């Protein structure tokens, strides 16, 4: 169920890479854990993020959780539709629920991330 | 059930709750212009006295309070507040005193502040307390500001505060507001501080470790002294969040555990009203090194009695107007004096006994995610009901309302998914605890027999289940006059 061409973090963010553009969101597992998302805090376009720096936060009916940058780079786009429809994170976490796009500073950052198959194994370890 | 209208909806133009006599002197036109006369407020409600009284009385009857029944809201210590507290705080010498009154005319009030400080020092093992902070979160902020001041005095305020992942959300906020970066420490498999992880994270950039003990799982941090040694060895401070002091009173003292700073919540541990009935009070205790930094004015003993010391050059200054929530302090002192040392010890003894009685009675029926021994509260989760019947902690909590109980704390601590955190406090009798336990067992049976009943709960309350998601996504924060009128 997790897209084969995506990269994943232990904190449950995903990254989809197209050239030097990285699109970032949270995984289906993460949205299920959070429950109904009611607000997504996003950074300003142009902000430069280091690996594991806070992108923003996601507020659900249960809790507020931080979202961390899986790769470093400059924010080139944010998903403005989440402002009025944060439920996209629940409904389509790997698609319409994307959060930001970065211009990647270092392709090597991807080396520290998991591919879908490894992420699924990692999730199995968490739920047992 | 008919919905209670908003006061705005009850309004009709020109209605008044009072009638002034006709003016029998010449009107002083313009005397107050530009000073005390404000512009009109559009849509300001206008209603008669009886309408106002009935409206708010009806609303109050729809509320649930600790004077009405069991209120096991974990981490909040919703104990019964003895009425003697209110009686003493209402004495004219306390309730009517002016905050600008000269110190020599309010010696009794200053004595209340000093004696409360003395007792808190005795109960917690610290050198001195400030009683200024308004509640727990401000106490934490004050505590971290004191740590920053003490480190700055040593030469370097440092950069990082370490906080376990089970902490109250106000801990990282307090650290952040004081200019520190927050680093989260993962709990060990028992839910406690992981000493290896702590040792790995602790360095000379770390200002403090913030620990809640017992932690938010209701589990005593038995490694607390080792943790204090690790933090102190690198020149950091140990901040203890005293939100859960109800498990320790008269038994163990945070000051003896190696904590340098502690806040306590008078409105939790020392039985002053909270949860809409406040205000709160969050005194902060410190070790000797930090006494010079305490907020001013600080109550001191003088040759003739008591005085207010403003001349403390290292002080972080005022953190609140005047002397904090003074009448809350009066209530807490009343409580401490009414109980005496034996009674203060019994708070913790009975609170821990009650929590463990509930734990033992419900173990196996509800899942215990962490099985370390409980102190004053017990954290179950919804795993058994969710896996088998799709019933969540929310459904269980809502169904409890139908049986006349306030639900436990839900979805906290964050390290437990589907948490139900139950804190009975020492207030409850065995009979009341048994009533709650039987109800929790009934609800577990209902989950099995008719999950839909729980999914649609509550059924017998003034309002049925609210759509919390819709309310959070599209909050309606202001009443607007319907267009048709």
d(CA A75, CA A70): 13
- pLDDT tens per residue across span B181-236: 999 998 888 889 999 999 999 999 999 999 999 999 999 999 999 999 999 999 99
**Chain A residue closest to B413 (CA)?**
A63
- Tell me the Cα Rg of chain B: 25
The answer to whether A38 contacts B473, with C-beta atoms less than 8 Å apart, is yes
In a domain, B74, yes or no: no
Contact A116, A2 (CB under 8 A): yes
Looking at the fold, whether B116 and B170 belong to one and the same domain comes out as yes
CATH of the domain at B425: 3.90.1150.10
Q: How far apart are the first and last CA of chain A?
A: 19
pLDDT of residue B104: 94
Mutant choice from A32, A34, A61 vs B, greatest count of B C-beta within 10 A: A61
Looking at the fold, whether B267 and B371 belong to one and the same domain comes out as no
Contact B246, B274 (CB under 8 A): no
The answer to whether B468 contacts A64, with C-beta atoms less than 8 Å apart, is no
Contact B334, B85 (CB under 8 A): yes
Contact B380, B367 (CB under 8 A): yes
pLDDT of residue B276 exceeding 90: no
- pLDDT tens per residue across span B107-162: 999 999 999 999 999 999 999 999 999 999 999 999 999 999 999 999 999 999 99
Average pLDDT, chain B: 94
pLDDT of residue A128 exceeding 60: no
**Chain B residue closest to A40 (CA)?**
B473
Average pLDDT, chain A: 94
d(CA B57, CA B172): 39
pLDDT of residue B412: 85
Looking at the fold, whether B241 and B161 belong to one and the same domain comes out as yes
The answer to whether A33 contacts B417, with C-beta atoms less than 8 Å apart, is yes
Looking at the fold, whether B123 and B257 belong to one and the same domain comes out as yes
Last residue of a domain, one of B304, B338, B372: B338
pLDDT of residue B209: 97
Q: Per the structure, how many domains does chain B have?
A: 3
- pLDDT tens per residue across span B415-463: 898 999 999 999 999 999 999 999 999 999 999 999 999 999 999 998 8
The answer to whether B169 contacts A36, with C-beta atoms less than 8 Å apart, is no
Contact A63, A54 (CB under 8 A): no
- pLDDT tens per residue across span B279-319: 899 999 999 999 999 999 999 999 999 999 999 999 999 99
What residues of chain A lie within 8 A of the CB of B418, using their CB?
none
Q: Tell me which residue range forms the domain holding B168.
A: 83-338
B245 alpha carbon, distance to own chain's centre: 12
What residues of chain A lie within 8 A of the CB of B169, using their CB?
64
Q: Which CATH class is domain A7-127?
A: mainly beta
CATH of the domain at B123: 3.40.640.10
CB of A127 less than 8 A from some CB of B = no
Looking at the fold, whether B328 and B390 belong to one and the same domain comes out as no
Question: Across-strand partners of A23?
Answer: A16, A101
In a domain, B21, yes or no: no
Q: Which percentage of chain B shows pLDDT scores above 90? A: 83
- pLDDT tens per residue across span A90-101: 999 999 999 999
In a domain, B466, yes or no: yes
Token output for B25: 């002197």
pLDDT of residue B264 exceeding 60: yes
Contact B69, B427 (CB under 8 A): no
Q: Does B62 or B2 have the greater pLDDT score?
A: B62
The answer to whether B411 contacts A59, with C-beta atoms less than 8 Å apart, is no
The answer to whether A38 contacts B414, with C-beta atoms less than 8 Å apart, is no
pLDDT of residue B484 exceeding 70: no
What are the extents of the domains in chain A? 7-127
In a domain, B185, yes or no: yes
Average pLDDT over residues B7-23: 91
> Which of A33, A38, A64 is nearest residue B469 as measured by Cβ atoms?
A38
Q: How far apart are the first and last CA of chain B?
A: 26
Look up residue A107 and give its DSSP letter: G
For tokens 């360095």, the residue is B203
Looking at the fold, whether B418 and B458 belong to one and the same domain comes out as yes
Burial B366-377 (b: 16+ CB within 10 A, else e): bbbbbebebbbb
Min Cα distance A62 → chain B (Å) is 6
Q: Which percentage of chain B shows pLDDT scores above 70? A: 99
In a domain, B251, yes or no: yes
Looking at the fold, whether B278 and B252 belong to one and the same domain comes out as yes
Inter-chain Cβ pairs, chain A and chain B, closer than 8 A: 20
In a domain, B139, yes or no: yes
Q: CA A90, A94, A100, A104: dihedral to nearest 10 degrees? A: 160
d(CA B294, CA B142): 9
Looking at the fold, whether B327 and B194 belong to one and the same domain comes out as yes
Looking at the fold, whether B211 and B305 belong to one and the same domain comes out as yes
In a domain, B22, yes or no: no
- pLDDT tens per residue across span B368-382: 999 999 999 999 999
The answer to whether A63 contacts B417, with C-beta atoms less than 8 Å apart, is no
DSSP per-residue letters across B163-188: EETTS-THHHHHHHHTT-EEEEEPBP
Looking at the fold, whether B294 and B418 belong to one and the same domain comes out as no
pLDDT of residue B485 exceeding 60: no
Last residue of a domain, one of B309, B338, B367: B338
pLDDT of residue B1: 54
pLDDT of residue B30: 81
Looking at the fold, whether B303 and B430 belong to one and the same domain comes out as no
**Chain A residue closest to B393 (CA)?**
A62
């Amino acid at each position: 169920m997790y897209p084969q061409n995506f990269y994943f973090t232990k904190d449950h963010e995903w990254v989809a890479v197209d050239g030097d553009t990285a699109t970032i969101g949270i995984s289906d597992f993460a949205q299920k854990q959070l429950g109904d998302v009611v607000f997504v805090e996003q950074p300003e376009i142009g902000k430069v993020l280091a690996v594991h720096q806070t992108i923003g936060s996601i507020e659900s009916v249960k809790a507020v959780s931080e979202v961390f940058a899986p790769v470093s780079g400059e924010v080139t786009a944010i998903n403005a539709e989440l402002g009025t429809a944060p439920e996209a994170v629940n409904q389509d976490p790997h698609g319409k629920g994307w959060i930001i796009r970065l211009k990647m500073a270092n392709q090597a950052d991807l080396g520290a991330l998991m591919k879908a198959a490894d992420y699924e194994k990692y999730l199995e370890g968490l739920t047992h | 059930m008919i919905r209670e209208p908003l006061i705005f909806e009850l309004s009709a133009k020109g209605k008044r709750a009072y009638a002034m006599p006709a003016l029998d002197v010449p009107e002083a036109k313009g005397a107050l212009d530009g000073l005390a006369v404000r512009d009109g407020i559009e849509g300001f409600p206008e209603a008669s006295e009886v309408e106002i009284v009935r409206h708010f009385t009806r609303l109050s009857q729809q509320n649930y309070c600790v004077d009405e029944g069991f209120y096991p809201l974990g981490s909040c210590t919703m104990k019964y507040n003895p009425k003697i507290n209110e009686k003493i705080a209402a004495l004219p010498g306390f309730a009517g005193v002016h905050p600008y009154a000269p110190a020599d005319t309010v010696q009794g009030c200053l004595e209340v502040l000093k004696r409360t400080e003395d007792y808190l020092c005795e109960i917690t093992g610290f050198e001195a307390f400030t009683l200024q902070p308004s509640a727990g979160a401000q106490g934490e902020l004050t505590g971290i500001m004191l740590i920053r001041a003490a480190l700055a005095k040593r030469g370097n305020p440092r950069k990082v505060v370490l906080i376990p992942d089970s902490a109250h959300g106000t801990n990282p906020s307090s650290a952040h507001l004081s200019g520190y970066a927050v680093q989260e420490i993962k709990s060990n498999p028992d839910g406690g501080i992981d000493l290896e992880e702590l040792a790995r994270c602790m360095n000379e950039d770390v200002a403090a470790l913030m620990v809640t003990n017992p932690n938010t799982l209701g589990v005593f941090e038995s490694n607390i002294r080792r943790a204090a040694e690790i933090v102190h060895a690198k020149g950091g401070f140990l901040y203890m969040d005293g939100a859960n002091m109800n498990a320790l009173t008269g038994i163990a003292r945070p000051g003896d555990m190696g904590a340098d700073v502690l806040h306590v919540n008078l409105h939790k541990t020392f039985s002053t009203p909270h949860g809409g009935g406040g205000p709160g009070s969050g005194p902060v205790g410190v070790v000797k090194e930090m006494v010079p930094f305490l907020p001013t004015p600080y109550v001191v003993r003088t040759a003739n009695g008591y005085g207010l010391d403003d001349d403390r050059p290292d002080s972080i200054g005022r953190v609140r107007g005047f002397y904090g929530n003074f009448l809350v302090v009066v209530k807490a002192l009343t409580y401490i004096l009414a109980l005496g040392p034996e009674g203060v010890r019994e708070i913790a003894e009975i609170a821990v006994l009650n929590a463990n009685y509930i734990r033992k009675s419900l173990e196996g029926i509800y899942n215990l995610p962490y099985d370390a021994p409980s102190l004053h509260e017990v954290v179950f989760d919804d795993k058994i009901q969710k896996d088998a019947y799709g019933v969540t902690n929310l459904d269980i909590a809502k169904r409890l309302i139908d049986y006349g109980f306030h639900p436990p704390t839900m979805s906290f601590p964050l390290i437990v998914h589907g948490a139900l955190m139950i804190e009975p406090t020492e207030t409850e009798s065995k009979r009341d605890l048994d009533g709650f336990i039987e109800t929790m067992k009934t609800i577990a049976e209902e989950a099995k027999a008719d999950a839909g009943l729980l999914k649609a709960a509550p059924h017998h309350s003034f309002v049925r289940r609210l759509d919390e998601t819709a309310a959070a996504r599209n909050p309606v924060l202001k009443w607007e006059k319907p267009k048709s009128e």
